[in-house]
A and B are shown apart, each in its own frame.
Chain A
């Protein structure tokens, strides 16, 4: 019994909240085309539903062990309470790490193309550099005014600079992941960055700093600073052209965003739409274009 109680009380500091949203003012029944994008990432999955190119509903959930069921669940949650049956979806594009394992998608498109396309929708045509900070990778993407990728670089080999690395640190310091950013900024002055690149080594280093009586906030600040340095290195290798925007889960961590901005000397655009859905949103936009192409193709052959 005591064990059960202990399990129930054990807080998972890394666990971020799943969420969903829908535009109740939009009547999907009047839409000419319904397009869906699903981004099955290594850590989180998002589904975005668009009606005639307008954002209608979305969800963001934790990815399970199976890509197909994670995608299904994301779409179900996005569509719940809308009354829209899944069969109404005209075109579905999958993206992300698990994109090839989603049998009900008409097409799979890389997350790099989708993030650039999604960022173009969220931030407008002035965005030329997109930094996507995801669960298990980090991408620096250059794109044109139409959201088309011109160049990119990614780190998917190492947890340093990814959401997973941040989860590990949140768990170690027992600070809820949503509070990491603000906590890391609540310092009178910036601490020196941790010297370890590797998250495993950074963990031992963090423990050593705590033993030297550093506050949790100071250790977090030190870790966030090192993570920002590493990300800026990746960015400078592709080159940063204004405007600059950040997508993916870590874009919500103010402690990382602020430090990247300071280091780059460039401010990131403020999002009007949740930047974590950028990949799925881009996929939904591709789905819309592909559906329209299909329609016009049918019209041609039909005439």
Chain B
């Protein structure tokens, strides 16, 4: 059975194609102005990689903030359900999932079968999402991809007073002017964000093991900071940004079987 999961995120569209539980292909594209066109393009590219025709897809499930706009999907599912399903399939021992995307942060507690028990979401404030690191990296004039490695080089932890991304930008500017090393500033950014994410995770209750998914899961500096705050190792998939699409594709397979 072949199914597809499409995750219409705030920053990127992710498509993942599964055959009998095995990944055939993945593709992603930046969420442009015309979301419908971007989704179609990303899907076509994944199909081509998989060598599968569109008609062979038995079920397409959409997730993500933009899921309503993916009109050709057969069904949709919340980000929480998709994340939980994907995480348990990747790490069967995981019971808590932390998902940090571009504009949202989520903490989800899940059952051994991947059903959602409880969750908390921050969608109101950029300080608890990937945008925060992105904005600060821009202010520091470093590439987002460099942020993690740079942060790991910091020799000490300096405090970050601002809680708001807008205020933090001014704070980063004054830190630069006062001669603070970039490594220490980006480390402070990661620590501040990890503070907020761990506080949110504690609200739903942390049950071992804990997995980190979402695009920010690529940032080694953030992983280290969050693991430090939680006092435990985190399970992070190789391509953490595809967790939502994977979960959606797994759910698509369940739904196709049920129908």
Contact = CB atoms under 8 A, between A and B. Distances in A.
B191 to A, nearest CB: 17
A120 B127 CA distance: 37
Secondary structure of the B contact surface, majority rule: helix
A159 B168 CA distance: 10
Contact of A158 (B10, B164, B178): B164
A157 interface: yes
A100 interface: no
A200 B167 contact: no
B178 A198 contact: no
B174 to A, nearest CB: 5
Interface size class of B (residues with CB under 8 A): 10 to 19
A199 B124 CA distance: 10
A131 B85 CA distance: 48
A164 B103 contact: no
A273 to B, nearest CB: 29
A164 B167 contact: yes
B131 interface: yes
B164 A159 contact: yes
Nearest to A211: B33
Of B125, B127, B135, chain A has the most CB atoms within 10 Å of the CB of B125
A136 B162 CA distance: 10
A201 interface: yes
Interface in B96-154: 103, 124-127, 131-132, 135
A282 interface: no
A200 B174 contact: no
A109 interface: no
A13 to B, nearest CB: 16
Given A158-B163, A211-B33, A65 B103 contact: no
A101 interface: no
Contacts of A42: 170
A201 B164 contact: no
Interface string B195-236: 000000000000000000000000000000000000000000
Contacts of A196: 124
Interface in A131-150: 136
B177 interface: yes
Given A198-B124, A200-B131, A200-B135, A165 B163 contact: no
Interface of A: 42, 65, 136, 157-159, 164-165, 168, 196-201, 204, 211
Given A136-B167, A159-B166, A197-B125, 5 more contacts: A164-B166, A198-B124, A198-B126, A199-B164, A204-B103
